[in-house]
Structure 1
Amino acid sequence: MARPRKRRRVCSMPNFKMFGPLNNSLDEKESIILTIDEYETIRLIDWEGLEQEQCAERMDVARSTIQRVYSEAKKKVADSIVNGKILRIEGGDYILCNMENKKCPSCGKGYHRHGRNKQF
């Protein structure tokens, strides 16, 4: 029996969920799906400048998992840019930070950072 997949911790949902070329001649069937956890990996490594080890700690998974997720996410973003495909951010195996204490247990940031997001 395979080990159950561990859900990745995500601190916030993306504000924008669809990207693509300005001409609307493309069919949405040609779109690429970037999962929420792949988005969070790109956000933490490329936007916040964290190392893969730090990203893994924040998302509560192994560094090797982050390396694999990050590699797959970069390929999807590159495919979207190079081939002019629509990139949609949705789905994935993730859990949102628990904000009951008004402080994220993963990143330590306060409610102002996460307040606009719905919590499960």
Structure 2
Amino acid sequence: MGEGSESRSRRKPVRPGRPVLCRCVVGKPRATCFKPEGVSPSRLKDVVITLDELEAIRLADKLGLYHAEAAGLMKVSRQTFGRILDSAHRKVALALVEGHSICIEGGHIQPQDPNGEPDEPGICVCLHCGTEIPHHNGTPCRTLDCPDCGRPMVRRGRCSSID
């Protein structure tokens, strides 16, 4: 095996099939990192829990909702909710057993206010050059090309790194 095959095996695999949809998340966490006491910073490893995984823990474990009801609130299928929750539980267990810190960040989320209304800023954004144009209802932003650079647009606040 040469160098090329080694670098290919380290790349993040391309996920075939349907794209990951946004998950509705209510609010932001008050704290974003939890560190165990008695572990030196040089030996401390991080476990990253995404915001959608935290939301699944909140709905299922804190509020005690059934998976079907919680999945409806997050706007995902019950099976997807179960996978998100299972991933979150495994990460928390790993951090607790191994003495790792837990950091909360990222995820494919759509912010939602506590009253159940999605946060709809009404702006389409180009992630490449930052150009913003008004969103027109009925036309998905992803079908539009940026007027400046020609790349696809995304809806601000929906599964993007632009806030």
Shorter-chain TM-score above 0.5: yes
Q: How does 1:1-120 map to 2 (within 5 A)?
A: 2-27=17-42, 30-97=45-112, 99=113, 103-105=115-117
Unaligned runs of 5+ in 1: 107-118
TM-score by length of 1: 0.79
More RCO (CA 8 Å, sep 6+):
1
Deviation at 1:27, TM superposition (A): 3.8
Residue aligned with 2:61, SS: helix
TM-score by length of 2: 0.59
Cα distance in 2 for residues equivalent to 1:24 and 1:83: 10
Which protein is richer in helix relative to its size?
1
Deviation at 1:2, TM superposition (A): 2.2
The Cα RMSD (Å) is: 2.1
- Cα-to-partner distance string for 1:9-52 (whole Å, 9 max, x where unaligned): 00111111111212350348710000000000000000011011
Deviation at 1:5, TM superposition (A): 1.2
When Rg is computed on C-alpha atoms for both structures, the one with the higher figure is 2
Cα distance in 1 for residues equivalent to 2:66 and 2:93: 21
